[in-house]
């Protein structure tokens, strides 16, 4: 995250949501996402400015190939400079498959991305990120988070 001292009267965490080119979105599902993430992350005492970019799947595929060596679109990527990229097409499909609104899926993905920016790593932290994500998403009234989804998919069928 781009660390900055919080100004008096302003939230410690500032979130902007764009289309990936820095332009504001006209997407109704993204309305209020920045304010929601700021409120939800309050218990984490996060500081700085985070940019959430809702991008096309093709752009996400390029980012995922460049930074993770995986030639496929993923749902969310976080970058140390304070950027969170969310693939809009993937988010729409996941929302449809899970039976909830796109707005809910964007919230789940943004929260997961923010936790990565704050240094959490579900692949190496013995469940710490999963516990924090669970607590925050329950507080916010969200359905299961990404870590829980991945665990359910990796379990053998009954």
Q: For 93-107, how does the pLDDT look when each residue is reduced to its tens digit (9 = 90+)?
A: 999 999 999 999 999
> What does pTM read for this prediction?
0.85
Kindly state the percentage of the chain with pLDDT values over 70.
85
Neighbours of 126 (CB within 10 A): 8
May I ask the CATH class of domain 13-150?
Answer: alpha beta
| pLDDT tens string 25-80 | 777 778 899 999 999 998 888 889 999 999 999 999 999 999 999 999 999 999 98
Residue 154 has pLDDT above 60, yes or no: no
Domain ranges of the chain: 13-150
Q: How far apart are the first and last CA of the chain?
A: 42
Mean pLDDT for the stretch of residues 122-145: 88
């Amino acid at each position: 995250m781009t660390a900055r001292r919080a100004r008096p009267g302003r939230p410690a965490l500032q979130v902007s949501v764009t289309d990936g080119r820095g332009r504001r979105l006209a997407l109704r599902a993204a309305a209020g996402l920045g304010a929601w993430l700021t409120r939800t992350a309050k218990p984490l005492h996060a500081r700085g400015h985070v940019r959430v970019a809702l991008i096309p799947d093709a752009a996400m595929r390029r980012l995922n190939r460049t930074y993770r060596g995986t030639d496929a679109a993923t749902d969310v990527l976080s970058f140390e400079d304070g950027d969170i990229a969310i693939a809009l097409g993937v988010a729409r499909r996941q929302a449809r498959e899970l039976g909830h609104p796109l707005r809910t899926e964007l919230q789940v993905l943004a929260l997961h991305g923010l936790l990565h920016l704050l240094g959490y790593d579900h692949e190496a932290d013995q469940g710490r990120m999963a516990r924090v994500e669970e607590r925050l998403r329950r507080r916010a009234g969200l359905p299961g988070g990404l870590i829980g989804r991945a665990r359910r998919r990796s379990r053998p069928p009954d």
